[in-house]
Structure 1
Amino acid sequence: MVNFNSVSHAFLLNRYRVLPLLLSTAVSSVAAPVYALQQSELEVYPPNWWAGMQNPEVELMIYGEGVADDTVSIDKGKAIINRVKALDSENYLFVTLDTSGARAQELTLTLTDNDGSYRRLHYSLEKRKEGSASRKGFGPEDAIYLIAPDRFANGNSANDNVDGYQDKADRQLKGSRHGGDIQGIVDNLDYIKSMGFTQIWTMPMLENAMDKYSYHGYSTTDYYTIDPRFGSNDAFLELSEHAKSEGVGVIMDMVLNHIGSNHKWLEDTPSKDWINNEGKFVGTTHKRESLHDPHAIESDIKGFSDGWFVPTMPDLNQRNPHLANYLVQNAIWW
């Protein structure tokens, strides 16, 4: 099992560059190559994957300064690079790995720039948990209890306010956070079970690093991190384990339609078509019937499907295959 608290999306890697350096002494002057070490930061999503998946391909989104024109090779481990694709931003590179027949292992990928400098990325293929492919989801036989975590129960007041997050707990201010968290749900599993519920559906608990109105969870700013005001990735796993021991399942609310406006994709967008309406706010028409009306015109369909809910929720364009892969792989990863 992955220790999620130790998982970092940012990998500090070494970029090496050969620099000529003239060393002068009283005896002689000698030209000698010196390897100058530069620290560089890359991020990779998903942060890890698994060997033995039914679909052997996984597409890595690699983010880092000037990475788009790098060539990629595997220096350690068994996997094949099927495709490498750069989009519009010079800071994203999409690398598709084929893990057919691969065992659990640590891969080492080398990204080499045009000037010969390179960065190494260490990527883990984990061993799948036994029986993971036969997990059962929820069905019509389940009674589902919907929870707004921030409004449910505060099990750990120490995480009500977290440094670096602007939206603070304030029960007197409309739209502010109240302090509910994952521990509050764990503490009340007996209560939920006693009412006859067999599944818990929580509103989203991924990071919502918004300036205000973040309590609902629908303005995702990091798809791979539980918001620290709810707890941690490990705390979410513990909730799942505790609930399972009580015979209760946990349904994760996946927000695939939009992100929060403080997501890094607004500062550096992978491609021009990553966000609908060229990244500019155009409100949705809310005409849901346009999707199933046989006489609907294209502008009505697009006005509903491509419009944003509000200016702080940029609408994602899932027609982009790399974005679609990102979202599907994120759901599988969780």
Structure 2
Amino acid sequence: MLETICGAIFPVVLSMMLGYLGARLGMFNREHATAINRMVIKFALPMDLFVGISRIDRNQILNSGGFASIIIGWMVGSFFLTYLFSRFVFKRSISLATLQALAVGNPSVPFVGSAVLGFLFGGKSALAVSVASLAINVILIPVVFFLLAGDNKETMGDSENWISHLISAFRQPVVVAPMAAFFWVLSGIPIPKLIDTSFIMLGKTTGGAAMFAAGILLCLMKPILNKMVITSVAIRNVIVPAVAWGLAIAAHLPSFYLGETVLTFAMPSASVIVILSSQINKGEREAASTVFFSTIVAIVTMGVLIALTA
């Protein structure tokens, strides 16, 4: 079992460490990391999200019931609870509170979920990965871009009112692509295979490229372990899956779905926070450190949760 967890997590750690090594040897600098992240968020990530969501079976979405409700509801709920806590208790700016909320409410299910859940639960794990991806990319990402647009006019647009901010958010490829795929799936019209095969090549570079860029930023800015990073990792890796466990019990989910729900929320923070922090030039060091430590801690916490829910 430990081999399964390490097999899923190690590629993420290795990609980050290679980026760190490249920067350490003077092969990459901050401008290179920014360029890589720009490519990811404008091209690779939208393509990857489109392909992933377009492969969801419509009946899975329509018949997922309480299982999907818990995943979507708690993913969105953990995001907004963390945002309010960070904004009004820690007194952080809108941008930093949004990034911290995304670190908690956005587990790396698209990158790590298929490997871990697929091994443990077989083909049925596709539903958890798909529903989580929908919640992240159709609900959370538009909200994140809306919040960041209002606080970063120089990098996210110079709009002056909330309607303009909303329009600016929905102009982002990372928002438009998954929503287009979602409604396409609901329509029941098959996605042309040519689109699927054409998008998948660049889309598959998303995880590795983002973590490589995160490694570059970690080397240049040095990892930090402050109260914000510790808080984010503790909530993401321990508290969120524990609450998910309680919700699954309260909903009387069968043991199979209970374990799948808990492990879906036990994934480490996704690297998209590093991409966004680099784009707005705020919180890059904290974002990269959060992803790094969350990934390392997940090797232990996911192993424990697998044993407890077996």
Under TM normalisation by the shorter chain, which class is it? under 0.3
- Taking structure 1 as the reference length, the TM-score comes to 0.25
TM-score (norm 2): 0.27
Structure number, greater radius of gyration: 1
Q: Which has the higher contact order (CA 8 A, sep 6+)?
A: 2
Higher strand share: 1
